[in-house]
Amino acid sequence: MNSDRRELTHDEKAVAKRLKAAWLNAKAANKSMNQKWIADEVGANQSLIAQYLNGNRPIGTDTLLAICKAVGVSITEIDPIRADKLRSGLGNNAKPDEITSLYLKLNEPSRNLIKSLIEYLSKH
């Protein structure tokens, strides 16, 4: 790991562990769902996906939602804290799959606003 990169928090490591487990479960059902396939679906490279899945790099909200969608799991299963924060930003009645769908439909400025809200809520 790059020495300039910060250490992941306990929660971030737990998210990576749950995400990797979800990917391995999905891969067991569909052998073609390798890291390269996820990278292509997400618009990233395979080595970055490996770093996310192995807990070597924090996962941004956009990327987490995209990987969850590709693997076929809800963000609530992988990162319930972030899902709750997204839900509060999108309306408390939103269901987990709706959260992902709504978030991915947002334009970049709106996504950035929600990311800022999540960061603010995490600190307060």
All structural domains of the chain, each given as residue ranges with its CATH number in brackets, are 10-123 (1.10.260.40)
DSSP 52-111: HHTTSS---HHHHHHHHHHHT--HHHH-HHHHHHHHHHH-TT--HHHHHHHHHHS-HHHH
* pLDDT-based confidence at residue 94 (cuts at 50, 70, 90): low
pLDDT value of residue 105:
73
- pTM of the predicted model as reported, rounded to 2 decimal places: 0.69
Matching residue, tokens 């971030």: 12
> How far apart are the C-alpha atoms of 106 and 42, rounded to whole Å?
16
Return the pLDDT at 11. Answer: 92
**Contacts of residue 94, Cβ cutoff 8 Å, sequence gap at least 6:** 86, 87, 102
Supply the pLDDT for residue 1.
46
